[in-house]
Amino acid sequence: MQKIETLFVDLSNWFIAWLQSLGVPLAWADAILLLIQFLCIVGIILANITILIWLERKVSGFIQQRPGPNRLGPHGVFQTVADALKLLTKEDIIPSKTDRLIFITAPILFMTISVMLYIVLPMGKDMQVVDLNVGLFFFISLGSLTTIALLMGGWGSNNKWSLLGAMRSVAQMISYEIPLALSLMGVVMITGSLRLSDIVAAQDNVWFILLQPIAFITYFIAATAELNRGPFDMPEAEQELTAGAYTEYSGMRYALFFLAEYTNLVAVSALLSTLFLGGWQGPWLPSWLWIIIKTYLVMFLFMWVKWTFPRIRMDHLMAFSWKVLIPVTLVNIVATGFGLYIFKGIGG
C-alpha cells in the first residue's frame, strides 16, 4: 500500500539517485528531473483530454438519451483519437486578409498558458512540480491571460463574428475575474497562505466546501464563465456567432484552441478539488488517485451544467456578475472574517 502511495515520489528519488551514481551533480540531476516532470505534465494533459473529450460525448449522450460515439473501439473510446488524426491531417488554412502573426500565435499562446497552469497544482502527496508560495495567485493571474489569446484570435481573424466573440470574451472575463478571485479569498483567509500545499494541509480535518459553501458555489459559477463553457460560452456561442473567435480557424489550429479549453477545464477542476474538496487527501486509496477521482467528479459537474442549461444573454451575464456574484463574495469575505475573529477568540 505504502509502495503505491509513494510510487511516483519513489520513482523520482530513485531516478535522481541513479543519475548521481553516474556522476551527475545534484543540481543537474534536479534540472533533468524537472524537464521530465514537464514532459509528464504534457503527457498527463494529452491523455486526460483524450479521455475527457470521449467522456464529454458520452455524458452528453447519456443526458440526451442517445448512445454517443460507439463505433470505434469498445464504447467508441478511439473516437477522439480518430478525430485528432483527422484534424492533424487537414489542410492548414490561413485566410488571406488575416493578421498572420497574431492569427498564428493566438492558439499557441492559449495552449501554453493552459499548460503552465499545471505547474503549481499538487497532484498528490509531495507531488508538485513547483510549490510556489504564491501558487494560487499564479494560477488566477495565468488563467486570466487566456483572454488575451482569445482577443488575439478574434482580432487577427479579421472577421466580424470573431471580433464580436472576442469582445464578448473580454467583457466577460473582466467581470468574472473579480468574483473568481474574491471567492477564493475566504479559503486564503482561513489558511493564511497562498501556497497550495498549505491549503491542502489545512483541510486535514474538514474540507473547505463545508466551511466555505458559498465560496464554492460562486467559484464554480465564475469558473464556468472563465472556462467559456455553457451556459457562459459567449465567445463561442455557436448558435449566434457561428463559432465566435474560432470561426476562421481550422485543422490543428482549431484543435489547439479546443485542446486548450479542455486543458483549462482539467486544471480548474483540479484546483477546485484542491481548494474545496481536500485536494489529494482521502482514506484508503493513494493520494494521486484521490485527486484524479475528485477532479473527474468536478468535471462531470461542469458537463452536467453545460448540457442542461441554455446560454445566458450577454447583458444578463454582466448584470449577474456585478449585481449578484460580487456582492455575495464580498459578504462571504466579511462573514469569514467575523467567523475567524470569533473562532480565534474562543480557541485562543
Partner 1 sequence: MLQTEQLTINIGPQHPSAHGGLHVEAVLDGEVVVDAIPHVGYVHRSVEKIAESRTYAQFVPYTARLDYLGTHLPVIGYVQAVEKLAGIEVPERAEYIRVIMGELSRIASHQLFIGSLAIDLGATTGLLYCMRDRERIMDMFEMTSGQRLLAAYMRIGGIAEDLPPEFLPAVRSFVRDIPKMIKEYQGLLYGNEIFQARLKGIGKLSAQDAIAYGVTGPNLRACGVSYDIRKAEPYGIYDRFDFEIPVGSNGDAWDRLMVRNEEIIQSGRIIEQALDQLPEGEIRAKVPRVFKPEKGKSVYHRIEGAKGELGYYIVSDGGEKPYRLHVRAPSFVNLMALPLVSRGGLVQDIIVNIATLDPVLGEADR
Site residues (vs partner 1, CB under 8 A):
60, 63-66, 160-161, 164, 230-231, 233, 237-240, 242, 307-316
Please identify, using beta-carbon distances, which residue of 168 and 294 lies nearer to partner 1: 168
Instruction: Report in angstroms the alpha-carbon separations of 84 from 52, 54, 253, 255, 261.
Output: 13, 12, 12, 8, 15
Other C-beta atoms lying within 10 Å of the C-beta of residue 28: 11
Phi-psi region of 193 (alpha: psi -120 to 50; beta: other; left: phi over 0): beta
Q: Could you give the C-alpha distances from 320 to 146, 173, 287, 323, 334, in angstroms and in order?
A: 22, 13, 37, 5, 20
Question: Which residues touch 199 (CB under 8 Å, ≥6 apart)?
Answer: 136, 187, 188, 191, 193, 208, 274, 275, 279
In the complex, least distance from residue 228 CB atom to partner 1, rounded to whole angstroms: 12
To partner 1, the closest distance from the beta carbon of 167 in angstroms equals 9
For partner 1, the closer of residues 123 and 233 by Cβ is 233
Give the whole-angstrom CA distance, residue 182 versus residue 327.
Answer: 10
> Measured from the CB of residue 97, what is the shortest distance to partner 1 in angstroms?
16
User: Alpha helix (H) ranges present in 64-90?
Assistant: 79-88
Q: What cell numbers appear for 135 in the block? A: 501558487
Q: How far is the CB of 153 from partner 1 (least distance, A)?
A: 18
The distance of closest approach from Cβ of residue 315 to partner 1 in the complex, given in angstroms and rounded to an integer, is: 7
Closest to partner 1 by CB, 95 or 231: 231
Q: How far is the CB of 297 from partner 1 (least distance, A)?
A: 21
Count each helix (H run) and each strand (E run) in the chain, helices first: 15, 0
Compare residues 149 and 164 and give the one whose CB is closer to partner 1: 164
Residue nearer to partner 1 on the CB measure, 75 or 311: 311
Sequence-ordered strand ranges (E) for 178-290: none
Nearer of residues 208 and 254 to partner 1, judged by Cβ: 254
Which 8-state DSSP code applies to residue 310? P
Measured from the CB of residue 171, what is the shortest distance to partner 1 in angstroms? 9
- To 5 degrees, how large is the angle CA 256–CA 261–CA 266? 120
Q: Cβ 56 to partner 1, closest distance in Å?
A: 12
With respect to partner 1, which residue has the nearer C-beta, 10 or 238? 238
Return the sign of the alpha-carbon dihedral for residues 304, 148, 37, 255. positive
- Are the CB atoms for 164 and 241 separated by under 8 Å? yes
Query: 86 vs 160, which CB is nearer to partner 1?
Result: 160
